[in-house]
Amino acid sequence: MKQLLKKNKTPRKIILIVNFFIKFFFKTKWKFLKPKKSNILIYDRESIGELDFYLKKKEYEIFHTRYEQINIYIILYTILVDGIKNLKENYKLNYFRIVSPKVVITLIDENTGFFKLKNLYPYAKYVSIQIIFKDNRFYNYIRDFKKKYNNFKFRSDVSFVLGNNDKIKYKKYLKSKIVSLGSIKNNNFPLKKNYNKKIDKILFISGSLPKNRKDVETKYLRAIKIFNFLESYCSEKNIKLFLLSKYKGNILSKYKEYYGDGNWKFVAKKNTQETYKIINNSQFIVSENSTLTYEAFSKNIKGVCFPEVFPYKNYSRVINKKQGFFWSTSISKKILFSKINKVTKLNQKKWKNIVSKEIKNIITYNPQNIIFSKTVDKFLK
């Protein structure tokens, strides 16, 4: 029986290996020229978009961590000098040696491999930027790796994080200077003072749409309830209600299928710049929970949210309370009306004092990402 199982496993293993090499050779771009020397090396191509504000006037090279592009010069050089043993690690090391960067930057800091680089190539400054909220998988991997490999040091020179909660957590796992930066994307669209005393418009930030009716009952009923209660509130107070779509394109009919054909206006997603323009011009925001909502709060834009767990269900540092001044994990028509009324009655100064105390732990705000730019400029000197 055991021999039969082994026989069945072997063909499957071969198929997986063959599939890997097919994808590898046909989907990978091959670059034949030697990489240029550069002061800046971007670790993972996915980091480029959000760094455009800083990189657009600078020269840089990219190390493609997903191997969507492979440099033939480096491959051949590595095989000739180091052989094929530890090819992946030596390829990376030789790439770094030839580029000779002063600074290595990534926005994909959930890739724990970045924090091993300083042990591999110690001649550069390493800067990571957190762009998504972490769950405990990131920390658990580091903890388990350290146990297995005799307290291996996960290091960078500076790690920029979303908020103070992450700052506290990162310090326990990384050897690095930890700095609260906030959302690099949100920081790129600074708010000009636009505080209206009278609120006559409310923006509802929607999450993803249900795939089917079963999804509505299990995952999305809460968001639909919040919106229905909000629609009642706006109707009663004679306030215009807008729904901001998570998706591009005109999918109003899909939203109406779940949120109803009521007295509200649909706002389609166009691009990042337009989305933040809408957020920055908003008088008041309501959502179940979303990064956009917390980003708006970090700019002192008024609003309330109703997450299942605050701030996120799988967040590594949840707040074990049922409600705060501008949020509640319980939802009813009475609770929603009460929360909105409390926030709308506050003047901007009092609102800022209340929201900033709590939101800075989740996400801070640094207009134009000045802290980041100054740090990297200093490393490049």
> Does 27-182+369-380 match 201-364 in CATH topology?
yes
Give pLDDT, residue 22.
66
3-class secondary-structure state, position 6: helix
Give residue 315's pLDDT. 77
- Among candidates 160, 174, 164, 163, which has minimal Cα distance to 376? 160
Band (pLDDT 50/70/90 cuts) for residue 357 is very high
225 against 209, higher pLDDT: 225
Band of the pLDDT at 4, cuts 50, 70, 90?
very low
SS (HEC) of 8-61: HHHHHHHHHHHHHHHHHHHHCEEECCCCCCCCEEEECHHHCHHHHHHHCCCCCE
Q: In this structure, what are the phi and psi dihedrals at residue 243, rounded to the nearest 5 degrees?
A: -110, 120
210 pLDDT band, cuts 50/70/90, is confident
| Owner of token pair 């920055």 | 280
DSSP label at 122?
Answer: T
The first and second tokens of residue 111, run together, are 């890739």
For the residues 358-376, what does the mean pLDDT come to?
97
Q: Is the pLDDT of residue 166 over 50?
A: yes
CATH 3.40.50 for domain 27-182+369-380: yes
- Look at residue 249 in the predicted model and tell me its pLDDT: 83
Name the token pair of 145. 């790796």
pLDDT above 60 (res 259): yes
Mean pLDDT of 40-44: 98
Span 210-237, average pLDDT: 85
Question: DSSP states of 201-238 as a string?
Answer: EEEEE--PPPSSHHHIIIIIHHHHHHHHHHHHHHHHHT
Residue 80 pLDDT more than 70?
yes
Report the distance separating Cα 270 and Cα 98, nearest Å.
41
Q: What is the spatial distance between Cα 238 and Cα 225, in angstroms, rounded to a whole number?
A: 20
Q: What is the pLDDT of residue 344?
A: 96
Res 219 pLDDT > 90? no
Note the pLDDT of residue 215.
Answer: 67
Does position 320 have pLDDT exceeding 90, yes or no? no
At 159, is the pLDDT very low, low, confident or very high (cuts 50, 70, 90)? very high
Mean pLDDT, the chain, whole residue set: 91
**Nearest CA among 164, 190, 197, 181 for reference residue 351:** 197
Q: Quote the pLDDT of residue 1.
A: 46
Distance, in Å, from the CA atom of 153 to the CA atom of 115, rounded to the nearest integer, reads 8
Collapsed DSSP state (helix, strand, coil) of residue 350: helix
Classify domain 201-364 at the CATH topology level.
Answer: Rossmann fold (3.40.50)
Q: Which residues of 268-289 are buried (b: 16+ CB within 10 A; e: fewer)?
A: ebeeeeebbebbbebbbbbbbb
Query: Residue 101 is encoded by which pair of tokens?
Result: 């960067």
Q: What pLDDT sits at residue 196? A: 67
**Annotated domain spans of the chain:** 27-182+369-380, 201-364
3-state helix, strand, coil in the chain (%, to 5): 50, 15, 35
pLDDT reported for residue 17: 58
pLDDT (tens digit, 9 = 90+) per residue, 99-143?
Answer: 999 999 999 999 999 999 999 999 999 999 999 998 889 999 999
Q: Is the pLDDT of residue 36 over 90?
A: yes
Give pLDDT, residue 257: 87
